[in-house]
Chains A and B, each alone.
Chain A
Amino acid sequence: MATSLEDRAAPREAHGAQREERRQRRRRRRAGVLFSLPGLLLLLAFLVTPFLMAVGLSLTNLRLASPLDTRFIGLDNYIATLTDPSFRQAFGNNVTFTLVVVPLQTGLALALAVLVNQSLRGIKAFRAIYFSPVVVVMTVAATVWLLLYSPDHGLLNGVLSFVSFGTLQSEWLRSETMALPSIMIMSIWQGVGFQMIIILAGLQDIPEELYEAGAIDGASRWQRFAYITVPQLRNTLIFVATVTMILAFRLFDQVWVMTRGAPLGRTNVMMLEMVTVGFERQQIARASAIAVIFFLVVLTVTIVQRFLLKEDRG
């Protein structure tokens, strides 16, 4: 249909440049839609559809394998989930984890990026070293840290005991107070290199003239950092904080390998809760409800964050 219309339009091309321009624009827009279609289709098939299905499933009593009829049960799964002390604890742990890890990891990444942004000999080696934990698969890293954290013969307690003459010891992952911080330390170690690289790229985009101008105006190093570097990195830092926040809410691998939520649920998180409910206990519908809640939480936090920290669009 569209093509035949166009064929008819072809002989009338001479009717003025304005008309031609409009036609070109329309054609370009149509090409844009066509080019984005494959991507949109994939998004539709693998993101939107599953999510809508999760919303649908969460309103039923569907089980992983069951000969019983699947029934519509309304919001029961949501009520059961939101009143479940175990889920509430998991949610609280996620929030604590995010509140601590996002500022800490972003700050540390900034510090490291500034550190490795100097032109020294062998600086590339340092960049590689700080980046290397990112390359390690999380489950492998978690297994290694599990050994490091071992209270009886772990390296960490060994070193602590050596430097403190046996007074400083921790049960780490088995201690109710230290378990979540232990996971945080490990996660920051693993993730900080990635943020560092992004911030480093941002740093190298800052025009040298700004620093020169600052130096001429008599700004100290700290002032140059606070009034040139940080404002110039605004967009980068917002991006890094947002991504870290989403990753923090998605926390799962390290917990799965290292603690499975122990001790006493102190390291339980929403993703772990979802896997336990959905696959161990086969309550797929309730796991879907957790997934939807998880999505809404992350969406809300992201929107709030973007509202509070508006990106400069220059």
Chain B
Amino acid sequence: MTDRRRLLLLVIGLLLGALLLAACAEDDAVDDEPEDVDTDVDVDDEPDEDDEEAEADEPDEVAVGNGCTGEVPDGAEIEIWWHEGAEAEVLAVEEFVEEFNAAQDAVTATLTLVPEADYAAALSGAAASGDLPDVVDMDASFAFNYAWSGDLQPIDTCVPDELADDLLPSIVEQGTYAEQLWALGMFDSGLGMYADASVLEEVGVDIPTSPEEAWTAEEFTDLLGALRDAGYERPLDVKQNYGQGEYYSYLYQPFLWSAGADTLDRDEEVAEGVLNSPEAVDALTIFQGWFEEGYVDDNTDDAAFVEGRTPISMVGHWEYANYKDALGDDLVVLPLPDFGEGTRSGQGSWQWAVGADADADAAWEFIAFTLEPEQMERMSEASGAIPSRQSVAEGTERFGPGGDLELFRVQLEDGWTVPRPPHPAYPTISSAFNQAIQTIIDGGDVDGALDTAAAEIDADIEANEGYPPPQ
């Protein structure tokens, strides 16, 4: 009996000990990584003490990864994360990792696939515990928050001149924050309107062939009316089935830019007066009109355009293959409507970033491998996206001169695209703008929705002491 009890006590003691050890080990890990001190502050401590401690640590905090030195360490191992979205892209990345490991001996890469739906959460979870992998792909606009929080390192020093000169300016722009480059991708993105040319000819409208000729928002609204008269009850598809999320921000911020408004004043770093400016209100009131008139198909079956219910579909480069199959030569790609200052499209896509604790040279070896023209071409084939090297983009049939998707490349090269605000507050900017868009779609007050969003963004920036840039 007593023996048994002793055993129980022993087991419990061991359990408690293990718990304590685990807790201590965590603390140790934090001590090893000075830049992460704040993510694990013990709230039970006296607040004042915390402040002093943190201040004492500040000099260490800014010593984040320093980029490339040009020396690739032999025998380095790097961990790579890729979002498990489109299958063709995943296969391509898997091949790249295999080929990379076979092609050289210095660096060994291992790939982890994370489901796209959980990707943002996985990233913020890893960042919060200071465990971002060495090479991680992320929607570029979200990279700045991690750059600011010290979880990434800048990669300017890694990019050779030859590559820098060849990259699309847009991809560099979308990856740049605080005058440093944080993210670089194999491809860039493009937004436009796919349309059935035969239907447009039926209703007798001029089809724009370049960004300059984009329809004005009024012309476009009239066209929607004409299409309804021609028998299309709901003639516009905006991929409502994607639902609320970053896609709203990606698709609808261009309307603001086109109207001369924005989600954030890029110099003053305030949303008030820009996001709720009269220009923004006017543009989004026109947009709301499309929903009020019932012009927009809800596309629950994701087949509105391919089944011919809507002759126009507003979406990005990735739908091309699908739409081309359905419409053949009748498919045309047009710029988004012009809300006053010329059409605008989004830019930036999934881009590579390098974790703060990574060996940048080893990480860059892999990134550079994926940015080789050959790999880039294959990826473009798989993703349908615009290769981020100008030389590669111009050489492909789709995006080259006269190609079906030439518009997307021209938009990116000639400055018809705007990066989403390269600001660490972007997650909040996007979330607040998203909610405003949803309110507007649901018939809410445009003015009020934008006022609320602007106030939320400004409150967030204030709460973060203006997001002081990393040094």
Q: How many residues from A make CB contacts under 8 Å with B?
A: 47
Residue of B120, B464, B465, B470 with highest tally of chain A CB at under 10 A: B464
Decide if A3 touches B2 in the complex (CB within 8 Å).
Answer: yes
Q: Give 1 or 0 for each of B300-317: 1 = CB within 8 Å of chain A CB.
A: 110000000000000000
Q: When chains A and B are docked, how far (Å) is the Cα of A263 from the Cα of B288? A: 14
Chain B min CB distance to A221 (Å): 46
Decide if A69 touches B442 in the complex (CB within 8 Å).
Answer: no
Q: Is B444 among interface residues, defined by CB-CB distance under 8 A?
A: yes
Q: Is A244 among interface residues, defined by CB-CB distance under 8 A?
A: no
Decide if B124 touches A282 in the complex (CB within 8 Å).
Answer: yes
Q: Give 1 or 0 for each of A173-186: 1 = CB within 8 Å of chain B CB.
A: 01010000000000
Decide if A279 touches B300 in the complex (CB within 8 Å).
Answer: no
Decide if A7 touches B43 in the complex (CB within 8 Å).
Answer: no
Q: Is A289 among interface residues, defined by CB-CB distance under 8 A?
A: no
- Which B residues are CB-close (under 8 A) to A64? 124, 127-128
- Which B residues are CB-close (under 8 A) to A174? 298, 442
Q: Smallest CB-CB separation from B456: which chain A residue?
A: A281
Do A3 and B5 form a contact, CB below 8 Å, given A279-B121, A281-B460?
Answer: yes
Decide if B427 touches A60 in the complex (CB within 8 Å).
Answer: no
- Which A residues are CB-close (under 8 A) to B151? 65
Q: When chains A and B are docked, how far (Å) is the Cα of A243 from the Cα of B23? A: 35
Q: Is B41 among interface residues, defined by CB-CB distance under 8 A?
A: yes
Q: Is B375 among interface residues, defined by CB-CB distance under 8 A?
A: no
Q: Give 1 or 0 for each of A15-39: 1 = CB within 8 Å of chain B CB.
A: 0000000000000000000100110
Chain A min CB distance to B342 (Å): 31
Q: Is A151 among interface residues, defined by CB-CB distance under 8 A?
A: yes
- Which B residues are CB-close (under 8 A) to A38? 12, 15
Do A57 and B43 form a contact, CB below 8 Å, given A260-B243, A260-B244, A262-B244?
Answer: yes
Q: Smallest CB-CB separation from A84: which chain B residue?
A: B456
Q: Is B396 among interface residues, defined by CB-CB distance under 8 A?
A: no
Decide if B300 touches A152 in the complex (CB within 8 Å).
Answer: yes
Decide if B234 touches A62 in the complex (CB within 8 Å).
Answer: no
- Which B residues are CB-close (under 8 A) to A53? 43
Decide if A56 touches B43 in the complex (CB within 8 Å).
Answer: yes
Chain A min CB distance to B355 (Å): 13
- Which B residues are CB-close (under 8 A) to A7? 2
Q: Is A229 among interface residues, defined by CB-CB distance under 8 A?
A: no
Q: When chains A and B are docked, how far (Å) is the Cα of A147 from the Cα of B8? A: 55
Q: Is A305 among interface residues, defined by CB-CB distance under 8 A?
A: no
Q: Is B55 among interface residues, defined by CB-CB distance under 8 A?
A: yes
Q: Smallest CB-CB separation from B129: which chain A residue?
A: A65
Do A264 and B442 form a contact, CB below 8 Å, given A53-B43, A67-B148, A153-B301?
Answer: yes
- Which B residues are CB-close (under 8 A) to A66? 38-39, 148-149, 464
A130-151 residues with Cβ-Cβ distance < 8 A to B are 146-147, 150-151
- Which A residues are CB-close (under 8 A) to B120? 279
Q: When chains A and B are docked, how far (Å) is the Cα of A260 from the Cα of B6? A: 54
- Which B residues are CB-close (under 8 A) to A264? 439, 442-444
Q: Is A300 among interface residues, defined by CB-CB distance under 8 A?
A: no
Q: When chains A and B are docked, how far (Å) is the Cα of A263 from the Cα of B244? A: 11
Decide if B6 touches A3 in the complex (CB within 8 Å).
Answer: yes
A40-86 residues with Cβ-Cβ distance < 8 A to B are 41, 45, 53, 56-57, 59-72
Chain A min CB distance to B20 (Å): 12
Decide if A45 touches B47 in the complex (CB within 8 Å).
Answer: no
Decide if A280 touches B35 in the complex (CB within 8 Å).
Answer: no
Q: Is A161 among interface residues, defined by CB-CB distance under 8 A?
A: no
Inter-chain CB contacts under 8 Å: number: 126
Q: When chains A and B are docked, how far (Å) is the Cα of A19 from the Cα of B3? A: 23
Decide if B38 touches A69 in the complex (CB within 8 Å).
Answer: yes
Decide if B300 touches A68 in the complex (CB within 8 Å).
Answer: no
Q: Give 1 or 0 for each of B432-471: 1 = CB within 8 Å of chain A CB.
A: 1000001101111000000000000000100111001010
Q: When chains A and B are docked, how far (Å) is the Cα of A7 from the Cα of B460? A: 66
Decide if A70 touches B50 in the complex (CB within 8 Å).
Answer: yes
- Which A residues are CB-close (under 8 A) to B148? 66-67
Partner of B463, one of A6, A61, A153: A61
Residue of A53, A57, A150, A281 with highest tally of chain B CB at under 10 A: A281
Q: Smallest CB-CB separation from B16: which chain A residue?
A: A41
Q: Is A276 among interface residues, defined by CB-CB distance under 8 A?
A: yes
- Which A residues are CB-close (under 8 A) to B51? 69, 71
Q: Is A154 among interface residues, defined by CB-CB distance under 8 A?
A: yes
Decide if B41 touches A280 in the complex (CB within 8 Å).
Answer: no
- Which B residues are CB-close (under 8 A) to A41? 12, 15-16, 19
Q: Give 1 or 0 for each of B273-308: 1 = CB within 8 Å of chain A CB.
A: 000000000000000000000000110110000000
Q: Is B146 among interface residues, defined by CB-CB distance under 8 A?
A: yes
Q: Is B44 among interface residues, defined by CB-CB distance under 8 A?
A: yes
Partner of A67, one of B35, B121, B431, B460: B35
- Which A residues are CB-close (under 8 A) to B128? 64-65
Do A280 and B427 form a contact, CB below 8 Å, given A65-B127, A68-B38, A262-B442?
Answer: yes
Q: Which residues of B contact A (CB under 8 A)?
A: 2, 5-6, 8-9, 12, 15-16, 19, 35, 38-39, 41, 43-44, 47, 50-51, 54-55, 61, 120-121, 124, 127-128, 145-146, 148-151, 234, 243-244, 297-298, 300-301, 427-428, 430-432, 438-439, 441-444, 460, 463-465, 468, 470
20 extra A-B contacts, CB within 8 A, seeds A150-B300, A282-B124:
A34-B9, A65-B124, A67-B149, A67-B150, A68-B38, A68-B465, A68-B468, A69-B38, A71-B50, A147-B300, A151-B298, A260-B243, A262-B244, A262-B442, A263-B438, A279-B120, A279-B121, A280-B427, A281-B432, A282-B145
| A and B contact pairs by CB, cutoff 8 A, 21 listed | A2-B5, A3-B2, A6-B2, A41-B19, A57-B43, A60-B41, A60-B47, A61-B463, A62-B43, A63-B464, A64-B124, A64-B128, A71-B50, A152-B234, A174-B298, A262-B244, A263-B444, A276-B431, A279-B121, A280-B431, A281-B427
Q: Which residues of A contact B (CB under 8 A)?
A: 2-3, 6-7, 34, 37-38, 41, 45, 53, 56-57, 59-72, 146-147, 150-154, 174, 176, 260-265, 276, 279-283
